[in-house]
Structure 1
Amino acid sequence: MKDLTTGGEAKLIFRFAIPMVIGNLFQQMYNIVDTVIVGKFLGTEALAAVGASFPIFYTLIAFVIGIGSGATIIVSQYFGARNYEQVQKAISTIFLFMLGAAIILSIIGISFSDRIFHLIGVGDDVMPFATSYFNIYMIGMIGFFGFNGTSSILRGLGDSKTPMVLMALSTFLNIGLDLLFILVFDCGIAGAAWATVIAQGAAFIGAIFYLNQKDHIIRFRLKEWHFDRLLFYQSLRIGLPTGFQQTFVALGMMTLIRIINNFDTTTLAAYTAASRIDALASMPAMTLSSALSSFVGQNLGAGRSDRIKKGVWATLKMAWTISLIVLIIVLIWGQELMQLFNNDVEVIEIGKEYLLIVSSFYIVFSSMFVIHGTLRGAGDTLVPMFITLVSLWLIRIPFAWLFSQRFGQEGIWWSIPSGWLVGLIASWFYYKAGYWKHKSVVKRKIDTDDHPFSQNISES
């Protein structure tokens, strides 16, 4: 476990984030490998089906992931305060919650998949591929929640290397199974889904085995776990805003898919491929945001709020540098990146257009995420939720519909950075106000200089 309350802020965050970046890179490879192999060997309709499935899956899991993020913040703050008994209680409580949620969501997703795909306007040519892929994917919910929950909590405790190693092994297994099921056994799109389910399950089993062999705070022994209502209430207080935020973001993704489906299957296929590249490109900024959350949580828990401002600026500089590098890569090799996913000329051109527009605003996106990471690490999740909902539902979605009427699919792509820009402006003003410094679960005496209206905060 890593103590983030002492040492140089920039070096600590960078070293803590590197394994997370690598681990999340492998995690993105799950979706990318599925998309590349499906797009290359199963065709445009199957590629579109993968793209239509993801926002539905994300909508179902988003609320639970949000609640889990609240528990992770609590874990990091109690760990920073050296209260290990509360750390263990929080961990067992959230895992019992996730286990039940995984079973319920699997049943709901499989039962209503047909109706949901019809609701978002998936065409008849894509429907059989979409339902087959999605229903199998939902079978693996326990493995998905189990491994991702373990990884998040380990990061809250300062361990970012173990999730990286397990994710790397799982990703290589997924790639091998994808090739085996699709190219050798000719299982079609169902093979891609089974490959992911098996690989995620193997990662979770590996995590259980590793942790039970070591002297860790986390131990996967159900008979020793109990559900602590007070800690779950604290998780809800912090996690509910993030849960609602993630849910409405996921619903926004579904709405965006509905708007895209007003065009043709080629546009949906292009968006599927380009959004995979976009997710990979934006992943470093999101990972830095998560690393900063753990840093902020531990330092607030330890009463070291003086270190947070330096950590925020160091993280912003790293995020800006990475965003510029990614922009250059997209500008030079955007077409070649799209060719990895599909051979259709129209798909490649539409996807390249998406990448050029969206990547030009990665600095805006990364800045917004870093600030949100600061707020969440402090336990202040309500305001980021409202900011996200405003930028999504009052800016991005209406703009996507209006711009698509006038400019075609290109108008949809321009709506994305429009939402980011509004979100960044609102987040920055709230960060400067300083109220987030008083949201910590671990309460400590607050100095006069730490008051939101003090000169000290106004300069932060």
Structure 2
Amino acid sequence: MRFSSGIAAHLHLPVWFRQVPFGTIWGLVWPQMMMLLCTIVINLTDIWAAGQLSAEVQAAVGISFQIQVFLLVFGVSLGAGGMAAVSQSMGAGKLWRAQNYVGLALSSCAVLSVGVAVLVWLLRGPVLALLQTPEGLVPATSYMVRIMLFGLPFACATQVAGTLFRAARQVIAPLLIVMVSCLLNVAGDLCLGLGWLGFPAFGMGGIAWSTFAASLVSAVLSLICLRKGGLIGKRLMPRLRWLKIGAPYLFKVALPACGNSMLWHAGYLVMFGITAALPDSVSALAGLTAGNRIESLLYMPANAFMVTASILVGNALGAGDKALAKRTGLALFFLSGISMSAVAACMWPFLPDLAGFFSSEASVQTQILNYLFFNVLVVPFTVSGLVLHGVMNGAGATVYSLVVNTSSIWLVRLPLGWGLAHFVFHDAYGVFMAMFVSMVIQTSAMVWVFFRKDWASFALGAHTQHHSKEKA
């Protein structure tokens, strides 16, 4: 679906904007928005249910969640490599090559996630100490982390599979899978965690094991649907001869993405540590956790736009059309920024109500409001920056994201957050202010990269359009 010439002329839209396939964009965006909505419902229900038990349990859930997010960086990075390789292969009309990259990404995910889960299981005590977890939170947090590690390989497989589905423009199957996961997780939190509908209330254990069960079911369904959708060939693991030629590109994209994700999420863990070292650490951590989950409502469409940018930019570059890739990225940049800024403006008057919904404790409500003040205010920068991150993923130029994002958090956010929180405000208010400043700088740098750097040159080009007759 394109704008007609009459409407375009009436609206005085630029030519490049009229050439963007908005119908295709919407067809990819809406299922991903629904997927992200289900994920947000899961996360918010976990936090809300934990908050009904106590602020300590809510903080423990938040810390274990941040550790899980950090450990999923391998899935994120393999997904980024798979997104670039599969979307470009599909754009070039090479299904066999896409199947090889799907098999390689899934196999690598299985090996890495199991290894990481075992390592962190052995080191979970020092990990919690490193995060400056308050002594009163250690038993609850340690329990949540142990259950999370059991489910880590399944969560990682589901995440990678979801990215691979979307790279091939198959967005309905992962939507159905995440809907099943959402139903299982929410029902478990409410029934087994809080004892609704006459079920026994297992408290924190019910919340933890419900998440595990949902991850397990999602991983199994993902593999079945990948096979039925034709993205897994006769062999899951590609032949050794192809691996020697094709694997380097996956890891060329995945390694910077892995570094970006690790350093970014490590920064978030350090930020939790900075917050945990404050005088009122339990309230500050609970407020940070709940505020982050509420904020995620705004980034549901933004993340959908980001992944859509990766898909369409990858398809365009796979077909050799660099101009279309740039036009699509630019259109999504403006669409996401304008639309999500409007949503944030509508959300602003209801921030106190949201804070009251997620906690009944006044000190936690104050922290949630402080978090949301800065992070809702910075939405225009955050969401448009996410789209440019998606453009770099689709092009395989993840090295730019690595440099820009990690510089933003390690050179700006963390030093500034530490100074403001511990020496100026003596409160998490300083951490939240630093998040605002760093995001403005980060997005500004990504805009410069988009217009001034040749990110399209990182795509699978003539040098990898090799052995086109070689089959999996």
Identify whether the pair has TM-score above 0.5, normalized to the shorter chain: yes
Distance, in Å, in 1 between the alignment partners of 2:373 and 2:392 is 30
Matched, 1:283 2:300: yes
Aligned counterparts, 1:105-116, within 5 A? 105-116=116-127
Matched, 1:244 2:256: no
Whether the 8 Å CA contact 1:68–1:94 is kept in 2: the answer is: yes
Matched, 1:410 2:410: no
Q: TM-score, normalised by structure 2?
A: 0.88
Measured at CA, do residues 20 and 29 of structure 1 come closer, stay the same or move farther in structure 2, by a change above 3 Å?
same
Measured at CA, do residues 180 and 221 of structure 1 come closer, stay the same or move farther in structure 2, by a change above 3 Å?
farther
| Superposed displacement of residue 55, structure 1 | 2.2
Higher mean displacement: 185-194 or 43-52: 185-194
Distance, in Å, in 1 between the alignment partners of 2:404 and 2:58 is 33
Matched, 1:44 2:55: yes
- 1:285-322: CA deviation from partner (whole Å, max 9, x where unpaired): 12211110110001000112222233123212321233
| Superposed displacement of residue 181, structure 1 | 1.6
Matched, 1:441 2:455: no
Matched, 1:67 2:78: yes
Measured at CA, do residues 226 and 101 of structure 1 come closer, stay the same or move farther in structure 2, by a change above 3 Å?
farther
* Aligned partner of 1:341 among 358, 374, 382: 358
Whether the 8 Å CA contact 1:78–1:442 is kept in 2: the answer is: no
| Superposed displacement of residue 129, structure 1 | 1.1
Amino acid aligned to 1:251 = A
Whether the 8 Å CA contact 1:10–1:314 is kept in 2: the answer is: no
Match of 1:258 in 2: 273
| Superposed displacement of residue 225, structure 1 | 5.3
Whether the 8 Å CA contact 1:371–1:427 is kept in 2: the answer is: yes
Aligned counterparts, 1:158-173, within 5 A? 158-173=169-184
Aligned counterparts, 1:324-335, within 5 A? 324-335=341-352
Matched, 1:216 2:230: yes
Matched, 1:130 2:145: no
Amino acid aligned to 2:424 = R
| Superposed displacement of residue 345, structure 1 | 1.3
- 1:222-268: CA deviation from partner (whole Å, max 9, x where unpaired): 5x755624322211111111100000011101110011012221111
Distance, in Å, in 2 between the alignment partners of 1:173 and 1:91 is 27
Measured at CA, do residues 17 and 215 of structure 1 come closer, stay the same or move farther in structure 2, by a change above 3 Å?
closer
* Aligned partner of 1:193 among 199, 208, 211: 208
Whether the 8 Å CA contact 2:257–2:399 is kept in 1: the answer is: yes
Whether the 8 Å CA contact 1:98–1:146 is kept in 2: the answer is: yes
Amino acid aligned to 1:403 = L
Amino acid aligned to 2:93 = R
Whether the 8 Å CA contact 1:23–1:167 is kept in 2: the answer is: yes
* Aligned partner of 1:297 among 298, 305, 314: 314
| Superposed displacement of residue 109, structure 1 | 2.2
Match of 2:410 in 1: 393
Amino acid aligned to 2:412 = I
Whether the 8 Å CA contact 2:413–2:435 is kept in 1: the answer is: yes
Whether the 8 Å CA contact 1:238–1:380 is kept in 2: the answer is: yes
Match of 1:452 in 2: none
Distance, in Å, in 2 between the alignment partners of 1:247 and 1:331 is 32
Measured at CA, do residues 60 and 210 of structure 1 come closer, stay the same or move farther in structure 2, by a change above 3 Å?
closer
Amino acid aligned to 1:124 = E
* Aligned partner of 2:217 among 202, 220, 223: 202
Amino acid aligned to 1:272 = T
Distance, in Å, in 2 between the alignment partners of 1:345 and 1:162 is 42
Distance, in Å, in 2 between the alignment partners of 1:400 and 1:444 is 45
Distance, in Å, in 1 between the alignment partners of 2:184 and 2:282 is 30
* Aligned partner of 1:369 among 386, 393, 398: 386
| Superposed displacement of residue 221, structure 1 | 6.3
Distance, in Å, in 1 between the alignment partners of 2:417 and 2:229 is 51
Whether the 8 Å CA contact 1:211–1:219 is kept in 2: the answer is: no
- 1:401-460: CA deviation from partner (whole Å, max 9, x where unpaired): 111120222111010121111112211111111411211113389xxxxxxxxxxxxxxx
- 1:141-187: CA deviation from partner (whole Å, max 9, x where unpaired): 22212211111101000111211111012101111111222123322
SS class of match (1:46): helix
Matched, 1:12 2:27: no
Structure 1 segments, 4+ long, off by >6 Å, are: none
* Aligned partner of 2:100 among 89, 95, 106: 89
SS class of match (1:45): helix
What stretches of structure 2 of length at least 5 have no aligned partner? Answer: 1-18, 465-472
Distance, in Å, in 2 between the alignment partners of 1:338 and 1:196 is 24
SS class of match (2:40): helix
Distance, in Å, in 1 between the alignment partners of 2:21 and 2:322 is 12
Aligned length: 436
Distance, in Å, in 2 between the alignment partners of 1:164 and 1:350 is 34
CA RMSD, 1 decimal: 1.9
Whether the 8 Å CA contact 2:316–2:324 is kept in 1: the answer is: yes
Distance, in Å, in 1 between the alignment partners of 2:129 and 2:229 is 50
Distance, in Å, in 1 between the alignment partners of 2:141 and 2:461 is 46
Higher mean displacement: 430-439 or 295-304: 430-439
Distance, in Å, in 2 between the alignment partners of 1:236 and 1:246 is 14
Distance, in Å, in 2 between the alignment partners of 1:120 and 1:400 is 16
Whether the 8 Å CA contact 1:181–1:192 is kept in 2: the answer is: yes
Distance, in Å, in 2 between the alignment partners of 1:317 and 1:10 is 13
SS class of match (2:136): coil
Aligned counterparts, 1:422-437, within 5 A? 422-437=441-456
Matched, 1:421 2:440: yes
Q: TM-score, normalised by structure 1?
A: 0.90
SS class of match (2:72): helix
- 1:311-352: CA deviation from partner (whole Å, max 9, x where unpaired): 123212321233223322431111211222221111112101
Whether the 8 Å CA contact 2:74–2:109 is kept in 1: the answer is: no
Identity over aligned residues, as a percent?
Answer: 22
Higher mean displacement: 408-417 or 312-321: 312-321
Distance, in Å, in 1 between the alignment partners of 2:233 and 2:223 is 8
Amino acid aligned to 1:242 = A
Amino acid aligned to 1:438 = S
